[in-house]
Amino acid sequence: MVWISTPVKRISGQIVPPGDKSCSHRAIMFAAMAEGTSYITGLLEGDDVLRTGEACRQLGASVIKTGKGAWTVQGLGRFQQPENAIDFGNSGTGSRLMMGAMAGYPIRVSLCGDASLSSRPMNRVLNPLRDMGMQVTQIGPHEGQLPLAITGSSELRAIDYTPPVASAQVKSAVLLAGLNAKGTTIVREPRKTRDHTERMLEGFGAELQSADEGEGQRVSIVGGQKLRAGDFIVPSDPSSAAFLLAAGLISPDADVTIEGHMTNPTRSGFLEVIKGMADLDITNQRLVSGEEVVDVRIRGKDRLVATNPPEELVPAMIDEFPIFGVLAAFAKGETRITGAEELRVKESDRIRATVDLLRVNGVEVEELEDGFIVQGCDGKVPGGGTVETRHDHRIAMSALVMGIAAQNPVAVDDVAMIATSYPEFFEHMAQLGADIREG
Ligand code: S3P
């Protein structure tokens, strides 16, 4: 059974995107590590985040849903030995950050995940955590991949670490382990990645220091700090908003408003690049839980101008390249995406999956080791293909968005994974006037 997105005449409406996935994971995790009761609102109730909630329960916290997006988390100020293995499903963020969070407690925890997560590299996080004193036992056949077990320690050593890749997950895992280590843990990032861990740890009462260092930054945390329970409103997810913005940008005669778009500079690469491709109205700047948000309105039928994302913006739009590839297909001119080799180790190999998505829909595209080159169709994308989604939510959503304005319907082989990050995707697309159904 496939799902088909059929071209529609007009996309219009006003949408508040769901809670941010990165902030939602962290809100539950940090509240579970703190002692006392925290109240979280606006939580993304996607499968990935619910898995993190379940992991925290297994580690001794009480995690209770009290309403839509409203959760109460009661932490013990430490993690307890869980009885069973923890299953992180599809979630790289949940599994990698929790490894760092668990590393500072004397517990042995087995971790597993679905087929996609079990093929993703974990050594990027395990290596620095080993240096700090955590032990790792391989369970599955592939070294450095799930399933595996970790044994934490209350005697972790602080490290001064320069990750070989720009990754917020690596930075976060090391900082979370650093919270319970002896001494000052330092992470030197070659390029700045999303800073939700730093901002939110401060919101939960921890002290951190950040300073620019070359093109990147240096973040340090003194070990032995206790987190304080608190209240947290999750701002909306710019990575989910990107699908709605793209729908407005490719659709003839659109009028789409995204309310409360987070503009944290470590997340707003996509918004920055599309500003150069079309006219956007950006208004109503305000703060939600320390994060700046705005409303973005897209109107009329602008011709999209092909624009190459600068490599320094890659970490700030790392999850948006599949949908950016779709925009590039509708634009006039050639788009070159480079410096994005990290896409090879996401929920799927997103360079290959995006190239195939575009090709099967009649777009000329060249695969590079670290990106791809798209020949834009100036609004006339043939469509008509069936896209292989490869357990990747963002590939599925990108293809379905393409279908609303292609010359022919676009189909996908699976939509189940969309619930990991954007359970309201179909509802929101229908509100905008899209025609997506099972076929
Ligand atoms: C995330 C960091 C990014 C991103 C992922 C969420 C996070 O991964 O792709 O969806 O919440 O820290 P990397 O840090 O591995 O690039």
Q: For the chain, which residues score pLDDT lower than 50?
A: none
The rounded Å distance from CA 163 to ligand 1 centre is 14
Atom 15, ligand 1: which residue's CA is nearest? 167
The rounded Å distance from CA 29 to ligand 1 centre is 15
Q: Tell me how far CA of residue 216 lies from CA of 22, 145, 162, 219, 332, in angstroms.
A: 20, 28, 11, 10, 33
Mutate to test the pocket of ligand 1, among 25, 95, 167 (most ligand atoms within 8 A of CB): 167
The rounded Å distance from CA 117 to ligand 1 centre is 13
Q: Is there an atom of ligand 1 within 6 Å of 168 CB?
A: yes
- The atom of ligand 1 lying closest to the CA of 170 is 14
The rounded Å distance from CA 238 to ligand 1 centre is 13
Cis peptide before 147 (omega within 30 of 0): yes
Tell me whether residue 319 is one of the annotated catalytic residues.
yes
| Common-topology check for domains 3-19+236-438 and 21-222 | yes
Give the CATH architecture of domain 21-222.
Alpha-beta prism (3.65)
Task: Look at the alpha carbons of 115, 120, 126, 127 in this order and tell me if their dihedral is positive or negative.
Answer: positive
pLDDT at 301: 65
- Return the number of other C-beta atoms located less than 10 Å from residue 137's C-beta: 11
Phi, psi of 34 (to 5 degrees): -80, 165
pLDDT at 1: 86
Amino acid at 223: G
Q: Is there an atom of ligand 1 within 6 Å of 93 CB?
A: yes
Task: Report pLDDT digits (tens) over 426-435.
Answer: 999 999 999 9
Mutate to test the pocket of ligand 1, among 318, 348, 349, 392 (most ligand atoms within 8 A of CB): 318
Q: Is there an atom of ligand 1 within 6 Å of 307 CB?
A: no
Q: Which residue, chain included where needed, has tokens 């599955």? A: 140
* Per-domain boundaries in the chain: 3-19+236-438, 21-222
Contact 238, 262 (CB under 8 A): yes
Atom 11, ligand 1: which residue's CA is nearest? 22
Report the C-alpha gap between 330 and 336 in whole angstroms.
14
CATH class of the domain whose range is 3-19+236-438? alpha beta
